Amino acid sequence: MIHIQSLNFAYRNGEFGLSIPAFDVTQGEKVAVIGPSGSGKTTLLNLIAGILTPDTGSIQVNKISVSELNDAARRDFRITHVGFVFQDFELLDYLNVKDNILHPYRITGALKLEKGVHARVAQLANRMGMADKLRRRADDLSQGEKQRAAICRALLPYPKLILADEATGNLDPRNKAHILDLLFEAVDEHQATLLAVTHDHELLPRFDRVVDFQDFRSG
């Protein structure tokens, strides 16, 4: 599912860089990424999603050479293939929860907003305990509710790859376990793949594999 080879990336200020000789994640695998703040975990997710592009090397996701796509193609790839749970949620405060969940369908023709999509929004919101929050504006939500809304949005189009950046970071222990259950269910039901950045070491035994990201830091 993910194949990275000879990747090098550095921000323009030159204070941080990644050097990854090789990194692979197989389809259906659930992989946790750990490491100290500033080691580049979020940067890796952004590279895999095509938000950032490497200076050298290649990134393939589901046999698509993401690193070779132009800006528009990377955006369509991200919307159709990747469910990204951002650390800062990336919700639009002026939209209600339902419209935030549906937002990817309204910014590109790569996804078709059919009747069944609305039913899936209701289903996901119910599973996330958000069924009664769909008409509330995003800026009226708690941090934990924003987190759950962001996860609904990420899972909505049945992505083959789920990238989760501290997806349980703003949740209480009971909800952490529930959200992880839902992420794992999405992986198993649709033969998807999960790559999750986390600082919560209590969750690590549930993953197939744990990667210590400090090994990929350079510069």
The parent domain of residue 71 ranges over: 2-218
Tell me the pLDDT tens digit for each residue of 169-209.
777 777 788 888 888 988 898 889 999 999 888 899 999 99
Cβ density class 24-60: b for 16+ within 10 Å, e for less:
ebeeebbbbbbbeeebbbbbbbbbbbbbbebeebebb
pTM above the 0.85 mark?
yes
Tell me the pLDDT tens digit for each residue of 51-65.
999 999 999 999 999
CATH number of the domain that 11 lies in?
3.40.50.300
Within 8 A by CB and 6+ apart from 139, the residues are 93, 94
- The number of domains in the chain is 1
Token digits for 144?
A: 């934990």
